[in-house]
Amino acid sequence: PTGSVEVITGSMFSGKTEELIRRIKRAILARQRVQAFKPRIDDRYDAHRIVSHEAVSVEAVAVGTSASIEERVLDETDVVAIDEAQFFDRGIVEVCDKLANRGLRVIAAGLDQDYLGRPFPPMPELMAIAEEVTKVHAVCAVCGGPASRSQRLIPQATTVLVGGAESYEARCRGCFEPRDVPR
């Protein structure tokens, strides 16, 4: 088979993980062999599952690096799913590319922007090499419009702050305040 890379991207709460899980479940229904991975850093809910904000989940392996995804992919695997791809090293781009070249279907979900609205490496590169990019949108917590950005609600000036509704809310371009603490 000809492989491909699919990217699912958008802000926090936009349904990236839900969409990833939906595609994984459909691949399993089609009797495809699926392996799912997530970064070890994302231990918000469960070390062995990909879990959406709605608490829907599928089994996954938590790994520390992109190289360890490559090592773990089995010969018989048809589909590789990766959640929170923005937390992986830049090597993830080459790993996804190689797997797709070998004929696998690679589906990667991740944030396109950080808490200041800046492109979140390595997602831009991943989006560039992908056959298909799906941008999903949350509901803006301020105005109810389609949200594309993740507003940080607590002060912390580091790009990586793993958290949920207590630390972030979804906002549209107009309501987004790209600072550490909203007014």
Which positions lie near Mg ion, rule CB under 5 A? 16-17
Q: Which stretch binds ligand ADP (CB under 6 A): 46-54, 57-65, 90-98, 120-128?
A: 46-54
| By CB under 6 A, residue 175 contacts ligand ADP | no
> Burial letters for 167-179: b for 16+ Cβ neighbours within 10 Å, e otherwise?
bbbbbbeebbeee
> Burial letters for 93-124: b for 16+ Cβ neighbours within 10 Å, e otherwise?
bebbbebbeeebbbbbbbbbbbbebeebbbbe
Contact set for Zn ion, span 106-145 (CB under 5 A): 140, 142-143, 145
Cα–Cα distance for residue pair 73/17, rounded to 1 Å: 21
* Residue 12 near residue 162, CB atoms below 8 Å: no
For the question of residue 84 being annotated catalytic, the response is: yes
Cα–Cα distance for residue pair 152/169, rounded to 1 Å: 7
Residue closer to ligand ADP, measured from CB, 101 or 159: 159
The binder of 33, among ligand ADP, Mg ion, Zn ion, none, by C-beta within 5 to 8 A per type, is none
> Burial letters for 127-147: b for 16+ Cβ neighbours within 10 Å, e otherwise?
beebeeeeebbbbbbbeeebb
Catalytically annotated residue among 19, 59, 70, 84: 84
Which x/- pattern, by CB under 6 A, does the window 123-162 give for ligand ADP? ---------------xx-x---------------------
- Closest distance of CB 147 from Zn ion, Å: 7
The full 3-state SS of 107-137, as one line of letters, equals EEEEECECCCCCECCCHHHHHHHCCEEEECC
- Closest distance of CB 102 from Mg ion, Å: 26
- Closest distance of CB 63 from Mg ion, Å: 16
Q: Which stretch binds ligand ADP (CB under 6 A): 16-24, 26-34, 36-44, 93-101?
A: 16-24
Cα–Cα distance for residue pair 137/10, rounded to 1 Å: 6
Contact residues toward ligand ADP (CB under 6 A) are 10, 12-18, 52-54, 138-139, 141, 170
Catalytic residues, which ones? 84
Contact residues toward Zn ion (CB under 5 A) are 140, 142-143, 145, 172, 175
